[in-house]
């Protein structure tokens, strides 16, 4: 089930960010293209109960959306709050993270991201 939830989330994010590259350690996949918005989708080293966590580079995300960094941080804070999942923290990058435990939560995150980037109405 864990693999199915993670893979479903990965496919949802591919629709938004394009292909995601596997990280050498095997802990995650990522989009490294700034014009798409840099993200890392973690499959391990997660907060208890999560099946995945998405870390967002605020500056590249803001640039893609045509919004300020503060607006983007507010959006991510609200998204994490509404979703209600705790997340781990990567001290090296310290990007905001949003966690999910099931497919419905991953779909909700993807829907909100699509809206944030102007890809679909909410």
Cα separation, 13 vs 30, whole angstroms: 10
| pLDDT tens digits, 44-75 | 989 999 999 999 999 999 999 999 999 999 99
Residue 106 belongs to some domain of the structure: yes
Q: What is the DSSP letter of 19?
A: -
Instruction: Look at the alpha carbons of 93, 117, 5, 77 in this order and tell me if their dihedral is positive or negative.
Output: positive
Residue 122 belongs to some domain of the structure: no
Residue range(s) defining the domain that contains residue 97: 2-116
Residue 121 belongs to some domain of the structure: no
- Judge whether 64 and 37 are in contact, CB under 8 Å: yes
Token code pair at residue 84? 């209600």
Report percent pLDDT > 70 for the chain: 97
pLDDT at residue 32, as a whole number: 94
Residue 121 has pLDDT above 90, yes or no: no
pTM value?
0.94
């Amino acid at each position: 089930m864990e693999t199915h939830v993670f893979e479903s989330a990965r496919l949802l994010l591919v629709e938004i960010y394009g292909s995601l590259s596997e990280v050498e350690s095997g802990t995650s996949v990522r989009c490294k293209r700034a014009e798409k918005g840099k993200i890392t989708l973690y499959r391990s080293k997660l907060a208890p109960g999560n099946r995945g966590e998405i870390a967002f580079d605020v500056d590249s995300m803001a640039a893609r959306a045509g919004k300020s960094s503060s607006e983007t941080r507010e959006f991510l804070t609200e998204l994490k709050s509404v979703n209600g999942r705790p997340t781990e923290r990567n001290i090296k990058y310290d990007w905001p993270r949003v966690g999910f435990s099931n497919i419905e939560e991953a779909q909700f995150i993807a829907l909100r991201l699509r809206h944030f980037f102007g890809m679909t109405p909410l």
